[in-house]
Structure 1
């Protein structure tokens, strides 16, 4: 009996130490979800980058889920089991905050427990028309048939808000279509709608993967800086540029447009395991930030590892905020302490190179 008991204990100890030697991953791994956006949009690629470069090194199995967009993401983060992270547009988040302030109980119940991890990047707002459309600028879309995006998407929020700001009224019901990005472009080409509004970070996969022949049938409207509608839109949105370099085989010149900020959002969790996992996520986010910028979607190059001040009704998630601030401070201290590398011209003799040395490639050796 004693031998049997000792053998069993030995087996348990062996199992324990083998798990520990492997890094304790069997006990430490968490299985979380992040809600993003449409399958050919930028959000889902950002989610995939977070899963690969941040969650995985932190011991978190992060499943990336597509969605209609920001408003749906808020709801799923709040109420769907397993969803711990979401990507949300700033105007959608602010709309919930404003409705809660105005006394909408449901909006308050939804938004008050949500917390920000950090701001990400600006998303461009595309106003797409057929190439043969007489419209040239965004302020000309009044009374046109417009797809503003799926109900529950951030695109729909941005499109309807911009229209209301510019023209002082909502889009007439008979002129509104709630189509996905792909369906909106198809409807545009076959002349079922006049304008498709799409929100996506450039370069947007929706356009880069599009059939070149179809791509030549559409174009973007521009912001007219002198239009009164433009001045009114500036109350909420910021000027941006769709760069020709983002779509080099299509655009011939840059296109001025509007932009909206994307945020990484979570919930005000207080369970010890969840708090610990999200702290590890924050540490990994800071430690692997350079990988995101060098290996991830081009939009990561626009993200700054910083936590700026927030407006009323917006709050960071304290456990993550503390970890990120500490890591940001360490990175700043290291950069300050690091001696500046000498320029190529200073590497030879400590003096500027002569023209002859440059011609003979003798600088920097």
Structure 2
């Protein structure tokens, strides 16, 4: 009898969520957009999972848009009509916050009204060089010609930040290029005008998964040596991680130590009741379909936890979604403690000289 009562109580805990997440005639389907990153990156796959397993059950047709990356995503979320969600790297978000705190009005206008939905997963940072290059470690890239990724990308921010932290100075403009990953890899192995290509992507990343075994003859990964003084400087913002050989069996034969950066799902501080209603339903569906995301979405979902940890200074959760997700977290915790695992599911300023950081954030000329 006690077991029956417990299961009934647990069902009743979920019942409000089930009711909220069922199709509602009061809220017709609406079109929203989410900005991600390149077509061959991890962000766009995560966006497609969110569109299928979270937005669709919430009566939202979520268009998944490619982009140059996190920095562009911040700007498009702030100003592009229809864009309600964005995937953003933690170091990019923090860079905007820091620029705003330092008095940059453009950065303040961009970041101040943005809000965090939830942290997602860690993204690995790849330092790619030629197979025959004498380089072996990341801290050996000083004074090399480095492709940091397109202006407006999170990769450009990460690459230039790591370089500055490691060596105490900005990457010289003459040594920096801002090509796409594909263009840069061709130059790395073709005319050899580039020494290192930096890529930020959650493993397994399609860019590298699609490579054939012949790739080993042309490119290799640099390793992170956490014992070097330069590497220790970089761990102030980034964290040690491992690129697993099992992620890229065609390319690497052993695990490679590297650095990582956190990915966040971000929205705007919407105050209109109509928009809040849809985003509340989005949060309901995220809670109800979280297990689907982990079991059927991209492998990176397995690293995501249904939790809302404290954020850094200048960061804020979006209150309507935060309220729904914290209630969800409490319910999941209660269910776990009770030893039951119900998984309800539903279907699918004035011109001035720009610093390198301002340049990669796209703040020059604003």
Structure 1-normalised TM-score? 0.85
**2:153 matches 1:170:** no
Aligned to 2:219: 218
Runs of 4+ residues over 4 Å off in structure 1:
22-27
The aligned residue for residue 94 of structure 2 is 94
Give the superposition deviation at 1:301. Answer: 0.4
SS state of the match for residue 183, structure 2?
helix
Structure 2 counterpart SS, 1:192: coil
Q: Deviations over 1:298-346 (max 9, x none)?
A: 0000001100001110000000000000011111111111269xxxxxx
Counterpart position of 1:117: 117
Partner of 1:260: 261
Q: Are 2:23 and 2:58, in contact at CA under 8 Å, matched by a contact in 1?
A: no
Q: Distance in 2 between matches of 1:69 and 1:339?
A: 40
Cα pair 1:91 1:260 within 8 Å, conserved = yes
Q: SS at the partner of 2:265? A: strand
Q: Could you tell me how far 1:224 is from its partner in structure 2?
A: 1.3
User: Structure 1's 277 and 228: CA in aligned 2 closer, same or farther, altered over 3 A?
Assistant: same
**Contact 1:216-1:250 within 8 A present in 2 as well:** no
Measured after TM superposition, the shift of residue 248 of structure 1 is: 1.8
Distance in 1, matches of 2:64 and 2:35, equals 6
The residue number in structure 1 matching 2:295 is: 294
Q: CA deviation at 1:146?
A: 0.5
Distance 1:328 1:24 in 2: 24
Q: Is the 8 A contact 1:207 1:215 kept in 2?
A: no
1:199-240 per-position Cα deviation (integer Å, ceiling 9, x unaligned): 000011000012432354111000112211011111111100
Which moved further from structure 2: 114-123 or 241-250?
A: 241-250
Partner of 2:131: 131
Inter-partner Cα distance in structure 2 for 1:216 and 1:41: 23
Q: Which runs of 5+ in 2 are unaligned?
A: 1-21, 342-366
Q: Give 1:76's aligned residue.
A: 76
Q: SS of the residue aligned with 1:62?
A: strand
Q: Deviations over 1:30-81 (max 9, x none)?
A: 1000000011000000000000011011110000000000000000000000
The residue correspondences of 1:1-365 to structure 2 (distance < 5 A) are 23-24=23-24, 27-190=27-190, 191-338=192-339
Cα distance in 2 for partners of 1:36, 1:210 equals 22
Separation (CA, whole Å) in 2 of partners of 1:161 and 1:27: 44
Instruction: Give the Cα separation in 2 of the matches to 1:334 and 1:216.
Output: 52
**1:293–1:216 CA distance, 2 compared to 1 (3 A):** farther
**RMSD, matched Cα:** 1.4
| Contact 2:27/2:59 (8 A) holds in 1 | no
Determine the C-alpha separation between the residues in 1 that align with 2:328 and 2:118.
14
| Greater radius of gyration (CA) | 1
Instruction: State the distance in 2 between where 1:97 and 1:225 align.
Output: 28
Higher relative contact order structure (alpha carbons within 8 Å, sequence separation ≥ 6):
2
Unaligned segments of structure 1, at least 5 residues = 1-21, 341-365
Which string of whole-angstrom CA distances, capped at 9 and with x for unpartnered residues, describes residues 85-109 of structure 1? Answer: 0000000000000011111111111
Query: Given that residues 23 and 57 in structure 2 are in contact (C-alpha distance below 8 angstroms), is that contact kept between their aligned partners in structure 1?
Result: no
Shift of 1:249: 2.5
Q: Number of aligned pairs? A: 319
Contact 2:73 2:88 in 1 (8 A): yes
Distance 2:187 2:291 in 1: 40
- Is contact 2:215–2:251 with CA below 8 Å preserved after alignment? no
* C-alpha deviation, 1:187, in angstroms: 1.2
Give the 3 Å change call, closer, same or farther, for CA 26–328 of structure 1 in structure 2.
closer
Q: Is the 8 A contact 2:23 2:59 kept in 1?
A: no
TM-score w.r.t. structure 2 length?
0.85
CA distance in structure 1 between the aligned counterparts of 2:180 and 2:340, rounded to whole angstroms: 51
